[in-house]
Amino acid sequence: SQQGEEDPQALSIQEGENATMNCSYKTSINNLQWYRQNSGRGLVHLILIRSNEREKHSGRLRVTLDTSKKSSSLLITASRAADTASYFCASINTGANSKLTFGKGITLSVRP
């Protein structure tokens, strides 16, 4: 089964609004990553947050990590039509067989 589960599965907002996407995971992690994928294109990494970090910012992106709840959120502020894409969280589990595993993704549509 997949490690990460994003919520909601699809999100539609108006340009200028904030978009919040959530991700839950199952096992202890070393770090959690968020990726973006435009339709028909490859993956672009957005941000990585380590297990000892609680919040990280990068431009209009804000990521939080709550290891007690095994969850993370990605906030995109002042969204733009160009933010329309699929967003994935991925985590690296602790332990001997560390792997990077992905959630199913969230489809974000930003209406101009």
Partner 1 sequence: NAGVTQTPKFQVLKTGQSMTLQCAQDMNHEYMSWYRQDPGMGLRLIHYSVGAGITDQGEVPNGYNVSRSTTEDFPLRLLSAAPSQTSVYFCASTLDLAHLPLFGPGTRLTVT
Would you tell me which residues interact with partner 1 (CB under 8 A)?
Answer: 1-2, 4, 30-31, 33, 42-43, 45, 48, 88, 90, 92, 97-105
Q: How far is the CB of 45 from partner 1 (least distance, A)?
A: 5
Q: Give the integer Cα–Cα distance in Å for 56 and 80.
A: 21
Q: φ and ψ at 10, to 5 degrees?
A: -145, 145
Task: Specify the residue, 80 or 104, whose C-beta has the smaller distance to partner 1.
Answer: 104
Task: Specify the residue, 43 or 75, whose C-beta has the smaller distance to partner 1.
Answer: 43
Q: How far is the CB of 30 from partner 1 (least distance, A)?
A: 6
> Are the beta carbons of 8 and 65 closer than 8 angstroms?
no
Task: Specify the residue, 1 or 68, whose C-beta has the smaller distance to partner 1.
Answer: 1
